[in-house]
Structure 1
Amino acid sequence: MELLAKLAKYRYGHFAQEIPGYHIAHKVFDSYGYNIEAIGVDKNGLMIEELKKTKAQIVYITPTHQYPTGATMPIANRLKLIDYMRSINGLIIEDDYDSELAYNNRPIPSLQGLDRGDNVVYLGTFAKALSPSIRVGYMVVPSWMMKLYKESYDAHFARVSLTTQLTLATFMKEGHWDRHIRRIRTLNKKKHQAMKEALKKHLGKSFTIVAQGAGLAILIVPTKKDFDWKRLQTLAENAHIKIYLAKERSGGEFEAVRLGFGGFRLEEIEVAVEAFADVWKSM
């Protein structure tokens, strides 16, 4: 992300981002002195008409699984955004951080794949689908950015060892990656369903699911009004349960509890939800 902010600075100075959205992107581009615009999201992801009212030349989006609301940008909106950014010679940063982990919907073509110009940078990572410990990400950049990249990149400061990169390349070349994705998608779909069923069983009608069907978490909100989120955190802490709230890492007004299932074995999920339910019901 830092390298991308550095490269894009040669052309651009105004940056826009979804709000709520990924807090690290805001931090990185702010540290490079960009003027930053916050653009709202709705059920279709980034609000394009709102973007058009700004001076933003770069827009950072998570279109396949919007972070943190879970919205998916329809293909019509993707084409509309590409057309607009091309008309201003702008740049779309498409962060496709967990598209391999979609359980219900058919894949929608990436903006980078739909783009017929040089206006999209595609970001991907192996942290979600393979292992967070290897911390390997990648970029597919426009041709004009490749020259800048080659001039700016210093191999002496690579953050991922060449051994890890070459091992991963071999893993993919030999077909193990495709088999791994099929296996974990099947496993995580079962975990996703198990968590949904456990939530319905132990929380009853006290909650609403606001994001599901992809990734490694389900987001819920309470049905009751005037919910005290800080008290929930305190009660959970007292019960030795760590909870994650959406607003802590995404800004904006969107708030929800992020219930991850990726780190649990299938048989552990109901036990975890039951423990969380004891705290939730005490609110």
Structure 2
Amino acid sequence: VFEPNISIGYEDPGYPRARKIFEANRMNIVPIPVDEEGICIQKIKEQQPNLVYVTPSHQFTLGTIMTINRRIQLLKWAAENQSFIIEDDYDGEFRYTGQPVPSLQGLDQHNRVIYMGTFSKSLLPSLRISYMILPSPLLKKGHEITSLYKQTVSCHSQLTLAEFIKNGEWQKHINRMRKLYRKKRAIVLEAVQRELGEHVRIRGENSGLRILLDVYLPFGEKELIEKAKKHGVKIYPVSLSYQHHPPTKTVSLGFAGVSESDIREGIKKLKAAWKI
């Protein structure tokens, strides 16, 4: 839809795979810092990118939730500058505290938001089903482009999912999974506080399927990951999400596919691995 060499405002830190896709399409990446409320609007106004990519429901990587005030400011900027916002709502179904915040697309009154989501987090990654809601000014061009591509997901899978949503089973499933993940999240937080205590700080715990740990030990990110791996625990780097000033002692810890007993045991293994 967009011409090569246009500039895209990109959260820093942000989802590294999306950044690579934009770079492969010859877009100029404009890093925009993120604070506790979300992407910084003042920096967007200073840089004036052609469009902006954001993950407002669960910021990748920090896990923060963009405030309603910041969402309204971002939409106002897009409307005033006739720019588009790409809203990547990759796991927005899973929020554990506070009142739900409407999506940017739901708040948008000026057709400036391209909304994207996936069923990989909430159902099965193997389904490979995602979706995109285009604003009306882009529908014609979007249809022309998508007509050039073959759909790799079977019609059976698509129709089955559509029926699953239509008859209300989808919402029941989300409610069950939200309850399950809320319980697992509580176990993770309790285990981390008990076993790792003052040696770590937890961030990004209010939504999504993972948390961040700032680790106050004499090891860097790579060492922390390697020591954990030797004890059978897989944790993930955070530095790859940054274009500027990556943290050196922060790691990501997922809990969605881990049993409750394995969560407790895994945190104990982290304690041993990091010699706390």
Q: TM-score range by the shorter chain?
A: over 0.9
1:132-186 C-alpha deviation (Å, 9 max, x unpaired) = 1212111111111110111111376112222111110011111110000110100
Q: Distance in 2 between matches of 1:274 and 1:182?
A: 30
For the Cα contact (< 8 Å) 1:216–1:262, is it kept in 2?
yes
Deviates more, 1:266-275 or 1:117-126: 266-275
1:25 corresponds to: 18
Within the candidate set 255, 260, 267, 2:254 is matched to: 260
* Letter paired with 1:236: A
SS at match of 2:120: coil
Counterparts of 1:70-109 in structure 2 under 5 Å?
A: 70-109=63-102
* Letter paired with 2:267: V
TM-score w.r.t. the length of structure 1 is 0.91
Q: Distance in 2 between matches of 1:229 and 1:36?
A: 25
Within the candidate set 237, 245, 248, 1:245 is matched to: 237
1:51 to 2:51 alignment: no
Q: Distance in 2 between matches of 1:158 and 1:127?
A: 17
1:205 corresponds to: 198
Identity of aligned residues (%): 37
2:107 corresponds to: 114
Q: Distance in 2 between matches of 1:14 and 1:113?
A: 25
- State the Cα distance separating 1:272 from its structure 2 match: 1.4
Q: Distance in 1 between matches of 2:99 and 2:175?
A: 14
1:178 to 2:178 alignment: no
* Letter paired with 2:224: L
What is the RMSD computed on CA atoms of the aligned residues?
Answer: 1.7
For the Cα contact (< 8 Å) 2:233–2:266, is it kept in 1?
no
Q: Distance in 2 between matches of 1:219 and 1:247?
A: 12
* Letter paired with 1:191: K
For the Cα contact (< 8 Å) 1:192–1:213, is it kept in 2?
no
Q: Distance in 1 between matches of 2:175 and 2:148?
A: 33
Q: Call closer, same or farther: CA 1:156–1:81 in 2, change over 3 Å.
A: closer
Q: Distance in 2 between matches of 1:253 and 1:178?
A: 40
SS at match of 1:53: helix
For the Cα contact (< 8 Å) 1:57–1:85, is it kept in 2?
no
* Letter paired with 1:243: I
Q: Call closer, same or farther: CA 1:241–1:51 in 2, change over 3 Å.
A: same
- State the Cα distance separating 1:43 from its structure 2 match: 0.5
**What is the count of residue pairs matched by the alignment?**
274
Gaps (5+ residues) in structure 2? none
Counterparts of 1:107-256 in structure 2 under 5 Å?
A: 107-154=100-147, 157-224=150-217, 227-255=219-247, 256=250
For the Cα contact (< 8 Å) 2:31–2:243, is it kept in 1?
no
* Letter paired with 2:53: Y
SS at match of 2:59: coil
Within the candidate set 255, 267, 274, 1:273 is matched to: 267
Q: Call closer, same or farther: CA 1:252–1:166 in 2, change over 3 Å.
A: farther
For the Cα contact (< 8 Å) 1:20–1:253, is it kept in 2?
no
